[in-house]
């Protein structure tokens, strides 16, 4: 690909690997494409902060996807450490409530005060996982109403807590923007290019459809990381969303 489309800066590649070595192979294969790198629980728990620092040294924007959900003081401490690490975005569960989310922001400010190099990361709330179906939400989790209603309620709570945006299904982006304003950031997993397997996701759209809904960032994992040629897979996605 001779010219990298602007959309590259709005695509997050999910580095869901059990080791830093495997993740490194993928990162090297995508060198030169200015996408975000999403580091989730599996990789962070085995590779730790050092891997995040290496990604930052390579110039990548990093979304640390740990979905913090604990008592406010614990989340505050975790957010302080994350802010000092220098990531560009991290998330907490909106289900933890307004006080917990505000504690995350307090932790960020404390972390920034102790680190001259760190900049303020975007802090976003998780609404409902894209693997959550209507029946699971109602019958197992015990939340009534539709998935969309629950997502909008959490999004508004996240906005009221002062956070920057939410993680949500691409199917809910339009309603979130209507309820919380166009500047409220949406990060959307559950993205599957045409012909890709849905896997354990329940609420999905293609990359083109997700951007058409107005989302700010899309998260793509297995369709890229599980492809025989990950770089070609990402370049095909970039080509499709740039048309």
- The residues annotated with a catalytic role in the active site are 67
Q: How far apart are CA 159 and CA 178, in angstroms?
A: 13
| Residues in CB range of 87: below 8 A, 6 or more apart | 52, 56, 62, 63, 64, 121
Closest to 159 (Cα-Cα) out of 186, 135, 133, 139:
186
Report the 3 state secondary structure along 97-116.
CHHHHHHHHHHHHHHHHCCC
Reduced to 3 states, what is the DSSP secondary structure of residue 136? helix
CA angle at 196 for the pair 11 and 23, rounded to the nearest 5°: 50
Chain-centre distance for alpha carbon 154: 16
Q: If you search the block for the tokens 């709570």, which residue do you land on?
A: 157
List helix spans (H) across 138-218: 147-161, 173-180, 207-212
- Cβ proximity of 191 and 219 under 8 Å: yes
Helix (H) or strand (E) run with residue 20 in it: helix 20-29
């Amino acid at each position: 690909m001779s010219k990298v489309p602007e959309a590259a800066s709005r695509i997050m590649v999910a580095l869901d690997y059990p080791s830093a070595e495997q993740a490194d192979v993928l990162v090297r294969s995508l060198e030169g494409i200015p996408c975000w790198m999403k580091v989730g629980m599996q990789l962070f728990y085995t590779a730790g902060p050092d891997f995040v620092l290496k990604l930052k040294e390579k110039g990548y924007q990093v979304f640390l996807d740990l979905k913090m959900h604990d008592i406010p003081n614990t989340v505050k401490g975790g957010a302080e450490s994350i802010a000092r690490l220098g990531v560009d975005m991290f998330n907490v569960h909106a289900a933890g409530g307004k006080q917990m989310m505000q504690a995350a922001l307090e932790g960020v400010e404390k972390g920034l005060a102790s680190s001259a190099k760190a900049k303020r990361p975007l802090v976003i709330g998780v609404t409902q996982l894209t693997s959550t179906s209507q029946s699971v939400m109602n019958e197992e989790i015990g939340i009534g109403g539709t998935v969309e209603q629950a997502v909008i309620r959490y999004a508004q709570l996240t906005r009221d807590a002062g956070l920057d945006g939410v993680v949500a299904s691409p199917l809910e982006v339009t309603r979130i923007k209507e309820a919380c304003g166009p500047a409220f950031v949406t990060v959307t997993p559950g993205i599957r290019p045409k012909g890709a397997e849905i896997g354990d996701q329940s609420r999905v759209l293609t990359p083109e459809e997700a951007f058409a809904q107005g989302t700010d960032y899309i998260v793509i994992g297995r369709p890229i990381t599980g492809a025989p040629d990950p770089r070609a897979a990402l370049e095909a996605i970039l080509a499709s969303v740039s048309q």
